[in-house]
Structure 1
């Protein structure tokens, strides 16, 4: 009987957490691979869950990425709850591993003017075609006063 080996949900979960942390700190696969003494292709396999990460290697990865080993097991219940759920990462998990998302969040976090932050959220939701209603926690167009917001902090 021929069988194709597919990654287990927990292997994919751990790999996804490696990718998330590596991306969050702006580290390339190549840099992580160099720190581990392996090829970047091996890091890719770990991140996809195609290759299982041994305990010693996971400790090395944790040290390089500046987290405790337990970080990779956080939200584990979701990873083991259903094989079908794990076919693809959630949209939020996928989004959090993209470099431009992290750059946007980091830049947004430095904006101290509340009106500018609100204007950016409203503008972004409008561009994305998302409703600006009370369910989203933002004012609807009918309740929004149209005022100019200076993009220069005072």
Structure 2
């Protein structure tokens, strides 16, 4: 049975893999396992050992600590605001982040200002 920590690590693994544009198969090949194991890690069905976490961090070019970033906050958030905890694991959110960072600085600032103004207006663009 997955614990909240296993689920957090799995979400962080999925997020980093997607941000790098890797498939589960590609990541699995880099660490010498089957893609089904990556699936199980990402959904929290299987725990990630310390040695495997090290391999994954090397393959994803990130420190091991990345996987634990925000863990305390995520555990607290699940108690106070459970609907928001899944927002950052959605593909749409990751696509938006990738597109945002492909822009130059000035268009990024303008897009952020637009999003904030739409939110202030209640999300109604008309």
Change (3 A) 1:90 1:79: closer
Check the 8 A contact 1:10/1:79 in 2, yes or no: no
Q: Relative to 1, partners in 2 of residues 1:88 and 1:51: Cα closer, same or farther, differing over 3 Å?
A: farther
2:52 is matched with 57
**Separation in 1 of the partners of 2:78 and 2:100?**
35
Comparing both structures, which one devotes a greater share of its residues to helix? 2
8 A contact 1:22–1:65 mirrored in 2? yes
The equivalences for 1:2-151 within 5 A come to 6-81=1-76, 90-95=85-90, 98=91, 100-109=92-101, 110-114=103-107, 117-118=110-111, 121=114, 132-133=120-121
Identify unmatched segments of 5+ residues in structure 1: 1-5, 142-154
Q: Deviations over 1:96-151 (max 9, x none)?
A: xx1x54344333331455499449946xx8xxxx6552x88xxx97xxxxxxxxxx
Counterparts in 2 of 1:79 and 1:101: CA distance versus 1, 3 Å: closer
**CA-to-partner distance for each residue in 1:53-85, whole Å, 9 max, x for gaps?**
000000000000001101111111134448767
Residues of 2 paired with 1:41 and 1:89: CA distance?
27
Quote the RMSD (CA, aligned, Å): 3.6
Question: Quick one: distance in 2 between partners of 1:113 and 1:64?
Answer: 33
Q: What TM-score comes out, normalization by structure 1 length? A: 0.63
Larger radius of gyration: 1
CA deviation string 1:10-34 (max 9, x = no partner): 0111111111111111111000111
* Residues 1:56 and 1:112: Cα distance change in structure 2 (over 3 Å): closer
